[in-house]
C-alpha cells in the first residue's frame, strides 16, 4: 500500500481536543486549511536514488547528501557545498525508478532557499522539460501542483535567497506510476484513548522512582546551569502520593560549573534531580499529562518535557532529535509557564511556542500540564486552558519542518541557574521542591 497524499487537516485526537477546548472557551470552531488531492496520487520519491550539483559534508551540515531530501525525515537535509562558493545554478534530482505522471511536488526549504527555480522532468536524466517555474519562491514549505511525465524530477535553482547555497529538508514528488516504496508512517490515535503508561507515585516516603519506568540521569548539564543532578538523592517519594524533585544549595566537591555569583566559586554549589523514561517507555502521538506543583524563585527552572528517542537510538544530536516542552517555568516570571517546540530550523530562544499566565505564583497550587498530539498538530493546555495550538501545515509553511512523527520519551527535572532564568540571588530560598502527583499517557 502506497502512501497517499497527506490530508491537510487536524486528525481525530487534535481535532477533538481543539473543539472541546474551543467550545469551553467560547471560541467557536477552529479549523485549518484542507487541500484536495487525486485519490490515486501517491508519494513516488521516497528512498529513491538522487543526484545533485554539489552536496555539503562538514561540521555545519553533516552528510547533507542528496538522498537526505528523499528519506521522508524532515530532520535531515540536502545542501549545496560551500567549497564551490555557493553559486548559481544549483540543482537536485531524483530517479523515480520508472516513468511516472507527476501531479504535485512539495519542497520544504531550509532558510537557504531558492527565490527563482524550475521544476523539471526527464525521461533519460539528460534532456529536461520545465513544468513549473517561479521568480518569487517564498521558502519554507511550497506545495506545487504540476502536470508532467518522466522518470526523473529535478529542482533547478537559478537564484538564491541569500549569500548561502540551496538546502532542502524534504523534496517530495507525488503522482502515479514510477516504482514507489511506502515510507513508515505512524498511525494517528483513535478514540477512545486508553491509558498506556502511568505513575501515581504512591511509594513509601523516601523511596526512589519505579526503576521499571524511570531512569535517573545524573551529572552536570548544559545551558550554563549551576546544579549537579544526583543519582537518586534529590528524587524521592514523599509518602503522600507525590514524587519530589528537590533542589538544594549544597556544594559538590570535584565538580565544575559556571561561576556562582553568590559564592564566586566554580565548584558546583547546587544539587537537584532529573529522571526520564528512555529505554523504558517512549511513544508517538497521544495525550500526555502530569499534575505538578512547581518550585519558584529566582534561578529555578523546573520542566516537564520530551526528547526524541533518536537522540540515544541513533546518536542524533539536539535539536535534530526534536524536543517538546510541555511545561517550563523560570522563577524570574513568578506567574508564567511556557510550552515550546524545538527542531533544527527553530530552537533555543527561537523555539516555537507560547506562554501562559497562571494568575497566581506558580508554586501556589498543583496544575495539570497536558499535550494532545497527532500527525497534524498539537494542543498544549494548563488545567484544560489552551496555551498553544500547533497546526502542522501552518508550522511547515511559516516556521520550519515538523519533526514529531517519531518516538519521544518523558523527562522531569528542576534546573538551577542557566542562560534563561539566570542564577539564584539573595532572595532565592532553598531547598525548593517540584511535586509531581502523577504522569499519564493515553493512546
Pick the closest to residue 416 from 285, 274, 253, 244 (CA basis). 274
The DSSP bridge pattern shows strands 336-342 and 352-357 to be antiparallel
The DSSP bridge pattern shows strands 377-382 and 56-58 to be unpaired
CA 359 to chain centre: 28
Cβ-contact 42, 67 below 8 angstroms = no
Count other C-beta atoms under 10 Å from residue 145's C-beta.
12
H/E segment holding residue 15:
helix 12-25
> What count of Cα atoms within 13 Å lies in the side-chain half-sphere of residue 124?
2
Is 145 annotated as catalytic?
A: no
Q: How many residues does the chain have?
A: 443
Burial class (CB in 10 A: 0-12, 13-18, 19+), 260: buried
Residue of 225, 328, 393, 396 with catalytic role: 328
Cβ-contact 413, 290 below 8 angstroms = no
**DSSP reduced 3-state for 180:** coil
Q: Any idea what the Cα angle at residue 379 is, between residues 377 and 380, rounded to 5°? A: 140
Contacts of 315 (CB under 8 A, 6+ apart): none
Cβ-contact 281, 440 below 8 angstroms = no
Is 328 annotated as catalytic?
A: yes
Cβ-contact 226, 260 below 8 angstroms = yes
What 8-state DSSP symbol labels residue 83?
G
- Phi first, then psi, for residue 365 (nearest 5°) are -150, 165
Cβ-contact 78, 55 below 8 angstroms = yes
Residue of 289, 323, 393, 396 with catalytic role: 323
Pick the closest to residue 175 from 138, 144, 137, 142 (CA basis). 144
Catalytic residues: 323, 328
Amino acid at each position: 500500500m502506497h502512501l497517499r497524499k497527506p490530508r491537510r487537516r487536524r486528525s481525530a485526537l487534535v481535532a477533538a481536543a481543539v473543539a472541546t477546548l474551543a467550545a469551553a472557551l467560547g471560541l467557536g470552531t477552529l479549523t485549518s486549511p484542507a487541500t484536495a488531492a487525486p485519490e490515486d496520487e501517491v508519494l513516488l520519491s521516497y528512498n529513491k536514488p538522487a543526484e545533485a550539483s554539489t552536496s555539503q559534508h562538514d561540521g555545519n551540515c553533516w552528510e547533507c547528501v542528496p538522498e537526505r531530501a528523499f528519506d521522508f525525515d524532515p530532520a535531515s537535509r540536502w545542501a549545496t557545498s560551500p567549497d564551490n562558493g555557493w553559486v548559481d545554478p544549483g540543482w537536485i534530482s531524483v530517479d523515480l525508478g520508472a516513468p511516472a505522471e507527476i501531479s504535485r511536488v512539495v519542497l520544504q526549504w531550509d532558510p537557504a532557499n531558492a527565490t527563482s527555480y524550475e521544476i523539471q522532468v526527464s525521461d533519460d536524466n539528460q534532456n529536461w522539460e520545465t513544468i513549473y517555474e517561479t521568480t518569487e519562491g517564498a521558502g519554507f514549505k511550497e506545495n506545487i501542483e504540476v502536470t508532467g511525465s518522466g522518470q526523473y524530477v529535478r529542482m533547478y535553482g537559478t537564484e538564491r535567497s541569500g549569500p548561502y547555497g540551496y538546502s532542502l529538508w524534504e523534496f517530495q514528488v507525488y503522482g502515479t506510476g514510477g516504482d514507489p516504496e511506502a515510507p513508515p508512517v505512524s498511525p494517528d490515535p483513535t478514540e477512545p484513548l486508553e491509558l498506556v503508561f502511568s505513575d501515581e507515585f504512591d511509594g513509601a516516603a523516601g523511596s526512589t522512582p519505579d526503576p521499571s519506568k524511570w531512569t535517573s540521569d545524573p551529572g552536570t548539564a548544559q545551558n550554563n546551569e549551576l546544579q549537579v543532578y544526583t543519582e537518586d538523592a534529590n528524587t524521592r517519594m514523599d509518602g503522600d502520593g507525590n514524587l519530589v524533585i528537590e533542589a538544594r544549595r549544597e556544594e559538590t566537591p570535584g565538580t565544575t560549573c559556571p561561576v556562582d555569583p553568590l559564592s564566586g566559586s566554580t565548584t558546583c554549589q547546587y544539587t537537584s534531580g532529573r529522571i526520564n523514561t528512555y529505554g523504558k517507555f517512549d511513544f508517538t502521538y497521544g495525550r500526555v499529562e502530569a499534575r505538578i506543583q512547581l518550585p519558584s524563585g529566582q534561578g529555578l527552572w523546573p520542566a516537564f518535557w520530551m526528547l526524541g528517542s533518536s537522540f540515544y537510538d541513533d546518536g542524533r544530536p539536539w535539536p535534530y532529535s526534536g524536543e517538546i516542552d510541555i511545561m517550563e517555568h523560570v522563577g524570574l516570571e513568578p506567574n508564567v509557564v511556557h510550552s515550546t517546540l524545538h527542531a533544527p530550523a527553530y530552537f533555543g530562544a527561537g523555539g516555537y511556542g507560547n506562554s501562559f499566565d497562571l494568575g497566581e505564583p506558580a508554586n501556589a497550587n498543583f496544575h495539570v500540564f497536558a499535550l494532545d498530539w497527532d500527525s497534524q498538530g498539537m494542543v498544549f493546555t494548563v488545567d484544560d486552558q489552551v496555551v498553544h495550538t500547533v497546526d502542522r501545515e501552518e508550522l511547515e509553511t511559516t516556521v520550519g519542518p515538523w519533526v514529531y512523527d517519531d518516538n519521544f520519551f518523558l523527562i522531569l527535572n528542576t534546573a538551577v541557574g542557566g542562560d534563561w532564568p539566570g542564577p539564584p540571588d539573595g532572595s532565592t530560598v532553598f531547598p525548593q521542591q517540584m511535586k509531581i502527583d502523577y504522569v499519564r499517557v493515553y493512546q
